[in-house]
Amino acid sequence: GPVASRLGLSGVPVAAETIALHTLFELMRVTGARVHVARLSSAAGVALVRAAKAEGLPVTCDVGANHLHLIDVDIGYFDAQFRLDPPLRAERDREAIRAALADGTIDAICSDHTPVDDDEKLLPFAEATPGATGLELLLSLTVKWAREAGVPLARALAAITSAPADVLKLPAGRIGEGAPADLCVFDPNAHWRVEPRALKSQGHNTPFLGYELPARVCATLVAGQVAFERR
C-alpha cells in the first residue's frame, strides 16, 4: 500500500485480496462449494465478505490476532518483527476488521502461529521471513481486543473456541456434560510482559515483544489430562 511505497518496499496491495475474493465468490456461485477465508486483512475484503454472506453464499472467515491490533505504520524503522503475511494495513482496515468481528461478519480469530527462526528475522525487512509466534499470545490478544472494543468476554472467547469448531463442523470448543475436557484455565485479571524467556514456543519472534498484555494462561488440559501448568 501507500506506506510500503513511501518506504521503498514492494507491497501487497489490498487489490491482491479483493481480486482473490471476487474470483473465489464467483467460483462458489458456480460450484456451490462451502469456503472458509483465512486471515482477512482489509476493509474492502470485509465489505466483500459481508456482501457474499448477505447473498447467501456459504462463506466463513477469520482474522489473525496480530491484525486486530497492529497497522502498517507500526513497522517503524523497518522492524522485521512486523513483517507478516498478509501484511499489516492501514488504520481504517484494522477498524473495519474489529467492527466486522464484533458484528459477526468475521466468524473467528486465529493465532496465525507462524514461528520464525531468529536468524530469519535479523535480515533487512524486505528479506526477512514473514511470520510470528502467535499461539501463546492468542488468548491475551483476544481479551485485549474485547476490552478495547467493549465486547463481552464470553463472546470474545467464543471467537477462539466454539466459533472455529463451528466453522469446521466439529463437536468441540464447548464445556458440556460428556464433552472432552479440552480446557484452558486462565486468570483474566493477570498481566504479563511478552519477552522471549516467557515464551515456550521454539520461535520467540513477535511484534508484541515488550508489550504488557492482559490474561495469563495458568493451565491447559487435553482430554482431561494436564498438558501444561504454570508454576
How many beta carbons lie within 10 A of that of residue 196, not counting itself?
13
Give the alpha-carbon dihedral of 21, 83, 164, 23, to 10 degrees. 10
Q: Closest Cα partner for 209 from 146, 139, 132?
A: 132
Taking the C-alpha atoms of residue 154 and residue 141, their distance in angstroms, rounded to an integer, is 14
Residue located via cell numbers 512486523: 82
Give 118: exposed, middle or buried? Use CB within 10 Å, 0-12, 13-18, 19+: exposed
Report which DSSP code applies to 51: H
The one catalytic residue among 112, 117, 118, 182: 112
Residue located via cell numbers 524486505: 126
Residue partners of 126: CB distance under 8 A and separation at least 6: 9, 10
Taking the C-alpha atoms of residue 64 and residue 160, their distance in angstroms, rounded to an integer, is 11
Q: Please say if 107 is a catalytic residue.
A: no
Angle between helices 91-103 and 43-55 (to 10 degrees): 30
Q: Where are the alpha helices (DSSP H) in 104-137?
A: 118-121
Tell me the catalytic residues: 112
